[in-house]
Structure 1
Amino acid sequence: MSFDWSLAVFVALVVVAASSGVFFKPGEWYSGLRKPSWTPPNWVFGPVWMVLYIMIAVAGWLVWRADPTSIAIWFWGTQLLVNATWSGLFFGMRRMDLAMYDIALLWVMVAGFIVSASAVSTTAALLFAPYLLWVTIAAALNLAVLRLNREAA
């Protein structure tokens, strides 16, 4: 069994996108914001995103191997770019309003991937289901924090 370099490329692309979270961290500004009572503890975000990013890489790779010309590959790449943008908008620019538009677009791209990937790889589509759930929760949190902190937006 030989190593598949194409999987390494998908992992590398995801690592690059995930690195936006390294450059744009929550910090003191975020800790000072009012948040809803159902906000997950800070320690949850890292492990959840680590698992999701692995699933995102594998899902993209599975679709690419099955049909590199599938529209699902476009959704995969687009969602990765939109995902990478959110941290910079929310934490970097402190623009919760723009981050809300970004995460709404992310939700559409993730759902689009699931629908389009299901015709190519059921496994890839299923790997994105937890991601869609997490993005839904993150969007609700983004909206709640935006509403609770209108003056900081």
Structure 2
Amino acid sequence: MTAQLFLIFLLANAAAATTGIVFRPGAWYAGLRKPGFTPPNWAFPVAWSLIYLLSAWAAARVAMLPGAGLPLALWAAQVALNTLWTPLFFGARQMGLALVAILVLLVTVGVATVQFWRLDTAAGLMLLPYLAWLCVALALNWRIWRDNPAAG
């Protein structure tokens, strides 16, 4: 793995993360009914920082291997889908559309994880925290959408 590749993949993740700066949760989100399993606010930046670092490292490892085309295409697709969720949920307040986006994101990351795993077991393992966090985020998105029908 080269440091240059890692930095390029990390840059793509940083671009996705900027949507969280532009579309902040704010008072609207604070006023929504949330389920008991909602992580504390401090957990979101910690989790996403770890996920972005690990996924960039995993992509850099895979990029050096023969057969990396499909896995890296899936990685690029997940960055695009990841970038889409925040403006849908917090910006447009379209919780139903955000739910569809995160479901497609979860499937994409799941398939990417399998593809990464086939090329490099360590790279596949690095995506498992991402899958776990997306499961929580999907459940959270669904429950907030369900429990706040007039908030969108």
Normalized against structure 2, the TM-score is what? 0.95
In structure 2, the partner of 1:114 is 113
RMSD: 1.2
Shift of 1:84: 0.8
Shift of 1:106: 0.5
SS in 2 for 1:150: coil
In structure 2, the partner of 1:129 is 128
Aligned length: 151
Q: Output one character per residue of 1:90-143: Cα deviation in whole Å (capped at 9) or x when no partner.
A: 001011000000000000010010111111111111000110000000000000
SS in 2 for 1:7: helix
- Name the CA shift for 1:27/1:120 in 2 (closer, same or farther; >3 Å): same
Q: Output one character per residue of 1:51-88: Cα deviation in whole Å (capped at 9) or x when no partner.
A: 11100111111111113643111110000110011000
SS in 2 for 1:152: coil
Q: Assess if the C-alpha contact under 8 Å between 2:102 and 2:138 holds in 1.
A: yes
Specify every segment of 5 or more residues in structure 1 that has no aligned partner in the other structure, as ranges: none
Aligned pairs for 1:33-44 within 5 A: 33-44=32-43
Specify every segment of 5 or more residues in structure 2 that has no aligned partner in the other structure, as ranges: none
Q: Assess if the C-alpha contact under 8 Å between 1:60 and 1:76 holds in 2.
A: yes
Aligned pairs for 1:97-112 within 5 A: 97-112=96-111
Q: Assess if the C-alpha contact under 8 Å between 1:63 and 1:70 holds in 2.
A: no
Normalized against structure 1, the TM-score is what? 0.94
Runs of 4+ with >6 A deviation: none
Identity within the alignment, %? 37
